[in-house]
Amino acid sequence: MASDYTLNKASVPAKVVIKDLYKIFGTNPKMGLQHVRNGVNKTDLLDQYGQVLGLRDINVEMGEGQITVIMGLSGSGKSTLIRHLNRLIEPTAGEILVDGVDVMSYSKSQLRELRQSQMSMVFQKFALLPHRSVLVNAGMAMRIRGEEEDAINAEAYKWLERVGLKGVENQYPHQLSGGMQQRVGIARALTSNAPIMLMDEAFSALDPLIRTDMQNLLLELQKDLHKTIVFITHDLDEALKIADHLVILKDGHTVQQGEPQDILLNPCDPYIEDFVGDINRARVLRARSIMLPLSGELPSDTQGQVDHDDTLESIIARSGGDISHGFIVTKEGTPVGTIDMTAVLKALVPRISTDTGVRNY
Amino acid sequence: MAAYDWFFDTVGLREWCNATKSEGTMSMADLLAKANGGAAETSWWEVPFPSLDTLNKSCEAVIRTRDFTASIEQAFLGVKDKMKVVLDPLTQPLSWMLDGALSLFVGTPWWLLIALMLMLTYYASRNVLVTIFVAFSFFLLAFIDHYTYAVQTLSIIFVCTILSVLMGVPIGIAMSKSNTFQRFTIPILDMLQTLPSFVYLIPLIFLFSVTESKLYGIAIIMYAIVPVVRLTDLGIRLVDKDVIEAANAFGMTSRQKLFGVEIPLALPNIMAGINQTIMMALAMVVIASLVSAPGLGTLVLRGIRNLELGVGLVSGFAIVLLAVVLDRVSKASLARINAAQSH
Ligand SMILES: Nc1ncnc2c1ncn2[C@@H]1O[C@H](COP(=O)(O)OP(=O)(O)O)[C@@H](O)[C@H]1O
Ligand SMILES: [Mg+2]
């Protein structure tokens, strides 16, 4: 299923583009690649040829300053995909363009330069240096680049404070809780000042409440920093909360990608329908996704205004449960559409019931 | 008639046998056989194993075992001079170091040396109890007049351990980086570790004169270097893969990775290797007294040679005490390093 997806928001240039990417693990990836191109699937490739299909025909554009979330069940190839961006894993075929340049053409030193100052990374298991203090860990990227010790520490202090870790600079990672360790991981990535940030299941190892805190921290930081973030998760709630662009992987290929709201409203595959079936849609869907665009005059029989980013949950609360209500949707104060409660209620029901037994993967 | 005449007759090698008469001297058994008026027919029950010596009786072209060992000796002596040309200058610094350390240790006044060693102990272990134990041990050794011997032993261990670490750690790092090199090195390490300690000394005695201290230096280092090599290799291979991946993801060079991540994280294992290296150096320095290594071992030797039971037992006790001291100090330092980076 090669989807030739391009960003629908023309205003956002692509920072990272992945083109026709294939990855096959095994003793003879070239042979495996031939079979995969001829349509052999992951299970058959392993059973008959002993090769593991990592990724198949991936095409993704990651917009500058946006959060691209890659979601899928465990083993679907998320980690493999994100490690291709900084070539911690070498592709079997395909291109990885960063600012329009193919990373595959980089020499060893260019690649190191890319990792040192273009891309930072946050890991599921934190991966901090256990023998170094929090401060030294936070300054790792700049120290690798060989910058002045004073400048490194100033930056490290600044970002540690920014992620809420003032006062623990001289402690060691093992003295901190998981959530605090991952804050150090984020501070380490931010101190590198790289425009691209890769996060591989960065919050998956944390308790639910701390996880919510971290998601909020990330969104709040992103409001100021506008990094190009590639975020991996296996949790749809998390994906919907932070994604500007959502890519759903299954068995190494993209099943669907696009605006999260679109995917929620128009799932194109039983796999995704099943995924989105358990979601609290009222809390995720927003007015802009289901409003009718404004045509001509403003209707007069509405009960007030809602913002285009308001969730359906808040609109239902506004209506007090009265399904005859309707609202004008505004964006930065100016009306852009209308929404009525019938449409809101309809949007709350998944398009296809999930009771039909597609949960068979 | 010898037992295997029929073999050479049937295979048709009789002529070859008769063509080359071996001119070796006769063995005692040959003389006896001659005196008995030739060998009698052997019954099938007493057929000897077809060893070189037995076959030689039937066919003189076959060499005897003692010719075989003699030829090995000849071969060894043949290359000896050539090897010495290379090995002598290469190993000469070892002699200087051993002799230098020996005279330095013995030449330092006892009160100064003990004070320095206590300071070193405390600095390495940060453990008051261990420091007190070391002080007690040295005063005890000095009190029973074993101080000089103990210090001689210590100076040899000191030099040999430092050299083992200086050579062993890089070898271990290379092993951890290259599977091929590891496959090639492990059999050598196995051999060094399983050879009985006395066997080391044999080729060394031929190569170097017993008056040179490098003779025992080499024997000790070959024996003691094994654990530090093995545990460096293991330690670096066991470093958390996630941390290594993070180091790569942030663009560390191999050098930054080695010194900033791998060696520090492998340090507990490397230190455990150094602890074992010290203990093995102590074991070997005692045996090396056979080839003129000074120290407590000479007293043990005297105890054995002259049947001086008391001398032997007391020096044995002194060695045990020294072993415990070295073990406690290195283990305490190891514990301190572990505590500093426990996760
Ligand atoms: N080094 C490897 N060798 C062989 N197979 C691998 C390797 N790395 C990953 N895989 C396989 O690739 C698939 C995707 O793995 P991964 O990217 O780790 O999944 P995810 O991160 O989504 O859980 C899995 O089937 C996994 O077994
Ligand atoms: Mg993963």
Supply φ then ψ for residue A110, to 5 degrees: -65, -40
Q: Do B252 and A144 touch (CB under 8 A)?
A: yes
User: Of A125, A140, A173, which is closest to B250 when you measure between CB atoms?
Assistant: A140
The answer to whether A229 touches A199, Cβ cutoff 8 Å, is yes
| Residue B176, CA distances (Å) to A288, B184, B225, B237, B244 in order | 57, 12, 16, 6, 14
One-letter amino acid for residue B157 of the chain = I
Instruction: Tell me the average pLDDT across B81-86.
Output: 85
One-letter amino acid for residue B148 of the chain = T
Query: Ligand 1, atom 7: nearest CA belongs to which residue?
Result: A25
Per-residue model confidence (pLDDT) at position B160: 96
> What residues of chain B lie within 8 A of the CB of A121, using their CB?
246, 249-250
> What residues of chain B lie within 8 A of the CB of A128, using their CB?
243, 246
pLDDT tens digits along A200-229: 999 999 999 999 999 999 999 999 999 999
CB burial of residue A156 (10 Å; 0-12, 13-18, 19+):
buried
**Distance of alpha carbon A162 from alpha carbon B65, whole angstroms:** 82
**Distance of alpha carbon A262 from alpha carbon A284, whole angstroms:** 11
Instruction: Tell me the average pLDDT across B269-298.
Output: 93
- Ligand with smallest separation from the Cα of A80: 1
Residue A120 has which token pair?
């930072």
**Distance of alpha carbon B111 from alpha carbon B128, whole angstroms:** 19
User: Of B250, B251, B341, which is closest to A130 when you measure between CB atoms?
Assistant: B341
Q: Which residues pair with A231 in a beta bridge?
A: A69, A199
| Contact with chain A for residue B261, Cβ under 8 A | yes
Q: How close is the nearest chain B Cα to the Cα of A21, in Å?
A: 20
The answer to whether B228 touches B277, Cβ cutoff 8 Å, is yes
- ipTM reported for the complex, 2 dp: 0.86
Per-residue model confidence (pLDDT) at position B25: 58
How crowded is residue A204: how many other Cβ atoms within 10 Å of its Cβ?
15
CB burial of residue A143 (10 Å; 0-12, 13-18, 19+):
buried
Per-residue model confidence (pLDDT) at position B11: 83
Instruction: Tell me the average pLDDT across B197-212.
Output: 82
The answer to whether A137 touches A188, Cβ cutoff 8 Å, is yes
Per-residue model confidence (pLDDT) at position B33: 60
A–B interface: beta-carbon pairs under 8 A: 60
**Distance of alpha carbon A269 from alpha carbon A256, whole angstroms:** 8
**Distance of alpha carbon A13 from alpha carbon A21, whole angstroms:** 20
pLDDT tens digits along B208-241: 888 889 999 999 999 999 999 999 999 999 999 9
Q: How close is the nearest chain B Cα to the Cα of A37, in Å?
A: 30
Residue A316 has which token pair?
């239902």
Regions of chain A where pLDDT drops below 50? 1-10, 353-354, 356-361
Question: Residues lining ligand 2 (ion), CB within 5 A?
Answer: A 79
Q: Is any ligand 1 atom within 6 A of the Cβ of residue A233?
A: no
Residue A199's nearest CA partner among A166, A167, A232 is: A232
**Distance of alpha carbon B242 from alpha carbon A127, whole angstroms:** 5
Q: Do B250 and A144 touch (CB under 8 A)?
A: yes
Supply φ then ψ for residue B87, to 5 degrees: -75, -35
Per-residue model confidence (pLDDT) at position B341: 64
**pTM given for the model:** 0.83
The answer to whether B175 touches B197, Cβ cutoff 8 Å, is no
The closest-lying atom of ligand 1 relative to the alpha carbon of residue A201 is 21
| Contact with chain A for residue B254, Cβ under 8 A | no
Residue A337 has which token pair?
């559409």
Per-residue model confidence (pLDDT) at position B26: 58
Q: Is any ligand 1 atom within 6 A of the Cβ of residue A75?
A: yes
Q: Do A131 and B240 touch (CB under 8 A)?
A: no
Per-residue model confidence (pLDDT) at position B23: 54
Substitution candidate for ligand 1 out of A23, A41, A43, A79 with most atoms within 8 A of CB:
A79
Q: Is any ligand 1 atom within 6 A of the Cβ of residue A25?
A: yes
**Distance of alpha carbon B77 from alpha carbon A212, whole angstroms:** 78
pLDDT tens digits along A76-95: 999 999 999 999 999 999 99
Per-residue model confidence (pLDDT) at position A300: 78
| Contact with chain B for residue A88, Cβ under 8 A | yes
**Distance of alpha carbon B181 from alpha carbon A330, whole angstroms:** 70
Q: Is any ligand 1 atom within 6 A of the Cβ of residue A54?
A: yes
How crowded is residue A66: how many other Cβ atoms within 10 Å of its Cβ?
22
pLDDT tens digits along B254-278: 999 999 999 999 999 999 999 999 9
